[in-house]
Amino acid sequence: MLAVLPAIGEGFYFRDRVSWQSPIPASELVTVDQAKAWGDGVIWVDARPDDEFASDHVPGAFSLNEDHWGELLAQFLPNWSPEKKVVVYCSAESCNAARDVAKRLRDDAQIQNVFVLNGGWEEWMKKNR
């Protein structure tokens, strides 16, 4: 009981400094090494804005962001097939775009086996450059 009161107080005081989004479940996250081990069984999806995709991206990745969701989904789907695993990434660990795009692929496009790349593009760069 004694510990609860300060915890509530601290929670209220720091209410504007905490993340409002729950962490991505571990089962939906994949590391660069794991994704690379899947080889040709992976389709890479770049959830970053168009200009960042244009400047550089994972080889073979499709651009699919929510700025032009309808148009980009239409370009992505003919290249997808059910046996493939979809790995979505955004800029870094802190960005939310990959999580949002992954959710939309599951909910709107009813695609299974959608994962978020842990660490995003930043982590890919560390492992590949």
Partner 1 sequence: MKTRILTFTLSILLVVSARAELKWEQNIIELHPSVGDKQAVAHFKYQNTGTAPIHFKSVKASCGCTTTQTQKEVVNPGEKGEIVATFNIGDRTGQQLKTVTVQTDDPNPAQASTVLTLKADITPALEIKPQVVYWQSGEEPKSKKISVKAAKEFPAKELTIKSNSQNFESKVEPGKPGEWTIEVTPKDTTHPIGTALLIQTDYPKEAPKSFYLNVVVTNPPQAPPVLRPTAAPAPGLKATPAAIPSVSPAAR
Residues that bind partner 1 (CB under 8 A): 13-21, 48-49, 52, 65-71, 73-74, 77-78, 80-83, 91, 94-97, 100, 108-113
Q: Which is nearer to partner 1, 1 or 15 (CB)?
A: 15
Q: Which is nearer to partner 1, 1 or 21 (CB)?
A: 21
Cα(96)–Cα(48) distance, integer angstroms: 10
Q: Which is nearer to partner 1, 33 or 66 (CB)?
A: 66
Number of alpha carbons in the 13 Å side-chain half-sphere of residue 97: 22
Q: Give the start-end residues of each E strand in the chain.
A: 29-30, 42-46, 62-63, 85-89, 114-117
